Structure 1
């Protein structure tokens, strides 16, 4: 697990382990990340299925309910298959855009 910070955003990348392992690792150290917006980079994983993304759903819901953004970055998924409850984008730049838009929405009270 590779962790990088950019202001109020934490970027977590996974090199070789499965999505399930990454979710478990994040949950175990969640106290370190709970005050930051989270970007989960799955770009290095070759094959990502819908089931892999769904592994992050509970973590995403918990994080978003605390008024923090949670975005998964992967260009290996079919975005049309992704559930509306979780934000998945193909590039890191789009993840930053989503966080910025969600910050504006929170500031406006949405």
Structure 2
């Protein structure tokens, strides 16, 4: 697992290629990241199902309750296959753009 922090955002990338153990590590170390916006980088996985992505739903819910952004990044995926409660985008750039928009909305009180 590789963690990159820039300003108010933490990008967490899997380096092992095992989604289940990656999710477990992120969940166990969540307290470390809870005060930041989180981007989960799954670009290394070429084929992910909607059920694989939905495994991140509990973390996303918990994080969004704390008024922080939680975004999953993966390519080659049917983005309509997951609930709108989980934000899934195809690129890191788009993830950071969404976080910026979320930050502006929070600053304005939305």
Same fold (TM over 0.5): yes
Counterpart residue number, 1:98: 98
Counterpart residue number, 1:17: 18
Counterpart residue number, 1:57: 57
Structure 1 residue 21 displacement after superposition: 2.2
Instruction: Tell me if 1:7 matches 2:7.
Output: yes
Per-residue CA deviation, residues 55-99 of structure 1 (Å, 9 max, x unaligned), is 000000000100110001111311121211100000100000100
- TM-score normalised by length of structure 1: 0.94
Counterpart residue number, 1:41: 41
Counterpart residue number, 1:71: 71
Where has structure 1 moved over 6 Å in runs of 4 or more? none
SS at 1:40's partner residue? Answer: strand
Paired residues in the alignment total: 109
- Structure 1 regions of 5+ residues with no counterpart? none
Distance in 2, Cα, partners of 1:107 & 1:4: 24
Aligned residues: CA RMSD = 1.0
1:10/1:38 contact within 8 Å kept: yes
